[in-house]
Amino acid sequence: MERYKVLLVDDEVEVIDIMEQKIHWNDLGFKVVGSATNGVKALELVEKLQPDVVLTDIKMPYMNGLQLARRLNEDYPNIYIMICTGFDEFEYAKEAVHLEIKEYMLKPINSTELSASLEDLKETLDREREEKLNVKKLNNYFQEALPKLQSNFLISLIEGRVGEEDYDRFLQAYQLDMKGPHFCCVIFHTSANHVPDGMDPLLLSMSVEREIKDRLVEEWECKEFIYMGNTLLILELDSKEKMAQVTDACDRFCRWAYRIMGAVVTAGIGTVCDSLRDISISYEGARDAISCMVQSAPSTSERLSQKSRSRQRSRKRSACRSFFARSVSVIRKRLRRWHTRKLRKFVKIQRQSASIIWQH
């Protein structure tokens, strides 16, 4: 495991050398990354080395240990501070308590006492590191689940199930930065009755959703999610005049989807609202538009009936053509037979006439 970094601060270099030599830092889970002889130099090293622990004296030039501790608490609150001083004065100890310094030890340094304090400190640092790792894991999990959480919140929003007291809290918690100032809901419905041969309706709907992401979501400021089998977009508009562009873009996409994918896609566009809180009104308008367009389209039974009548008419025409062809064939055969009989009769008469003439 990675060792915790320690910065030693004392105006006496000999004291620093003794601490480095007499304490088994590696065995205790620490390593000395640097040293300084005054508080000013220590601050520079803290910024550069980012230590976990600062062990400092109090009496030093330019900036004493308590002043250093005060600056560290302000700028680096996660650093643990240990005081090791030769001054056993109440005011120093009182100030150290006020600054929440973890250890306050007196010189001369007792290696056993310092080692015991470092062991206790390591246990504390280990617990904090584990908690931080758990927090990091939870944060990673939250970021992975965030798109789903956002979708669930937006579904609740369009259904009008988000109370005024929860609205701002959920927006902030789910990191939804939608400023508008105008909003509009668009619904894309992919018909399950008009599907290319061999294509599963669900796969076709998923393909349409992917194309909406690639072609429309990238172009507009919006949030996209799936609800009731439809693809929904909540658009952010900087002006209401842009609705004409939205309508044209939706129309072009529906035509493209039918021409390229064979999918019958219907787009329902709701009214523009001035607050995201009112997006449920826009959703209702888009849903009503979809319902009207889908209901006006022929039903499955009607389309099947139309296809059946068309096949019947086609069979009748084929039967008529077949009957006509057979009739013509029969007539031709009969004409050929009639001509053959007439020709034979004519030849017989000619032969008889020739025989009579020869006899005479």
Q: What is the pLDDT of residues 213-269, one digit of tens each?
A: 999 988 888 999 999 999 999 999 999 999 999 999 999 999 999 999 999 999 999
| Same-domain status, 117 and 183 | no
To which residue do tokens 């309508």 refer?
A: 247
Q: Is residue 330 part of a domain?
A: no
Dist CA 58 CA 295 (whole Å): 84
Read off the CATH number of the domain in which 233 is found. Answer: 3.30.70.270
**Domain assignment present for 305:** no
9 is a domain residue: yes
pLDDT digits (tens, 9 = 90+) for 61-75: 888 888 888 899 889
Q: State pLDDT tens for residues 14-46.
A: 989 988 998 999 999 999 999 999 999 999 999
Cβ-in-10-Å burial (0-12, 13-18, 19+) of 178 comes to: middle
Residue at 8 is within a domain: yes
The CA distance from 166 to 133, in Å, is: 30
Say what the pLDDT of residue 96 is: 65
Chosen domain end from 250, 268, 300: 300
In a domain, 258, yes or no: yes
User: Are 187 and 293 contained in the same domain?
Assistant: yes
Please state the domain count of the chain: 2
**Same domain for 29 and 101?**
yes
186 within a domain of the structure (yes/no): yes
Is the pLDDT at 113 greater than 90, yes or no?
no
**Are both 121 and 184 inside the same structural domain?**
no
Considering only residues 310 and 195, tell me which one the structure prediction assigns the higher pLDDT: 195
Strands 30-36, 4-9: pairing is parallel
Mean pLDDT of the chain: 83
**Which DSSP string do the residues of 165-219 spell out, in sequence order?**
HHHHHHHHHTT-----SEEEEEEEEE-SSS--TT--HHHHHHHHHHHHIIIIITT
Q: Please check whether residues 17 and 117 belong to one and the same domain.
A: yes
Supply the range of the domain harboring residue 270: 178-300
CA distance 208 to 257: 7
